[in-house]
Amino acid sequence: MAYEKELDAAEVKAKARECGADLVGIAPMDRWEGVDMQHDPRYIFPGAKSMIVFGFRIPRGSLRGVEEGTHFLNFSTMGYAALNSIYGPMVLWEMNRFMEDHGYEAVPMANVGGGEAVNPLTGNFRKGWSRPVKPGLPAPDVSVDFRVAAFLAGLGEFGYSRAFLTPEFGPRQRFAIMLTDAELEPDPIYTGHICDRCMECVRNCHGNAISSTETVKTTIGGVEVEWAKRDELACSRAGREGGLKRELSPFDGNYPRKYGYGLAHEGACGCIRACMVHLERRAKMTHRFRNPFRKEGWTQWEVDHSRPYELPEEVLRDYAGNIESHDAYTNNNINSNYGTKAAAGLIHDNASSGGVA
Ligand code: SF4
Ligand code: SF4
């Protein structure tokens, strides 16, 4: 098939928005100059001319149940896992077809980890993990930092917490990447300032993972950037991987994983939600809502696990005769959140009030 006309950036962006991306930015591949080879996507597709970065908004409503302290699954699924593992790949597949149908090769990269030769949490090289297939090549898998990619594609800036902030949604989006041999007009690197160093992220970081005094400076795409020194392990333990810091979680048992993600409420509970509320109050985001996210008189809920577990009066009243042991019926390791008959050993005839039997 002969291809008469080159695609231009405007056509690619229009298609991306039609496919469901909220944000689209384009960077030439040479903006990656200076990054170490284990993080350099040019080793994934040496013929790539451009990187397209897609942003997908995190629904503000996925944080509502976290704000109220009554529902956490919406954030870990609709605000996190499903965006990275389902919605992003769907847009990538559609865009991939579009690029291929115009004669371009495109490498679709969803924001799902797994094979990296460098531990994404510690930043340490994993000795014994994999071997370069030729001298001079990085060890598989090369991993691409999606926030760096978004920065290079002009979508926004790094906030003090290292959360990525865009003028449209503040900290409320996730990203996917496409490398392509199409030569597309790049977007300029963003030079505005969304983060005002309010330190709300630090004050609301229950994992003490964001230093209030020490920062890290680096150069990305020729631009000097600075963010707080972070303790990624503390962050992960505190909640991103499932609320291991028990006092941050209202759940007494393990929280089930959804699409590979655990509770993931800490970002929503801590830095992300605090940042979003702050930027909303300062009218720093171009995407606005009719009603403020945080209501007057709101106070942060806390969970005191040192108190013995007690059944509230309402539960005793509403579920009289229909109360079962958490251990008996929930089994996170065998089948699903709802367990199995065999694992449970008991099922009340009338225990299916949620339709779960
Ligand atoms: S909470 Fe404040 S200091 Fe932290 S990233 Fe957001 S705007 Fe910046
Ligand atoms: S996710 Fe939680 S622990 Fe990690 S930096 Fe944000 S507030 Fe701190």
Position 350 scores a pLDDT of 37
Q: What are phi and psi of 61, to 5 degrees?
A: -65, -20
231-251 tens-digit pLDDT: 988 887 765 554 455 666 788
Residues in the ligand 2 pocket, defined by CB under 6 Å: 161, 205, 207, 209-210, 235, 238-240, 266-267, 270-271
Over range 92-101, report the average pLDDT. 98
Q: Alpha carbon of 161 to those of 75, 212, 328: distances in Å?
A: 19, 9, 41
Task: For ligand 2, atom 8, name the residue with the nearest CA.
Answer: 205
Per-residue confidence (pLDDT) for residue 211, from 0 to 100 = 97
pLDDT band per the 50, 70, 90 thresholds, residue 351 = very low
Q: Whose CA is nearest to atom 4 of ligand 1?
A: 201
User: Which residue is associated with the tokens 């779960």?
Assistant: 356
How confident is the model at residue 250, as a pLDDT? 82
- 255 CA from centroid of ligand 1 (Å): 29
> Does ligand 1 come within 6 angstroms of the Cβ of 278?
yes
Percent residues over pLDDT 90 in the chain: 68
142-185 confidence digits (pLDDT tens): 999 999 999 999 999 999 999 999 999 999 999 999 999 999 99
Could you write out the DSSP letters of every residue in 113-164? Answer: -S--SB-TTT--B-TTS---SSTTSPPSPP---HHHHHHHTTS-EE-TTS-E
DSSP states of 52-111 as a string? EEEEEEPPGGGGHHHHHTS--HHHHIIIIIHIIIIIHHHHHHHHHHHHHHTT--EEEE-S
Q: How confident is residue 353, by pLDDT bands cut at 50, 70 and 90?
A: very low
- In the chain, the percentage of residues whose pLDDT exceeds 70 is 85
Atom of ligand 2 at shortest distance to CA of 204? Answer: 7
Q: Is the pLDDT of residue 202 over 50?
A: yes
Ligand nearest to the CA of 227: 1
Query: Ligand 1 centroid to 239 CA: how many Å?
Result: 19
DSSP-derived letter for residue 254 is P
Q: What is the CB neighbour count within 10 angstroms for residue 313?
A: 8
How would residue 113 be classed by pLDDT, with cut points 50, 70 and 90? confident
Mean pLDDT throughout 197-219? Answer: 93
Residue of 254 and 139 predicted with greater confidence: 139
What's residue 237's pLDDT?
Answer: 72
**What pLDDT score does 235 carry?**
83
- Look at residue 328 in the predicted model and tell me its pLDDT: 61
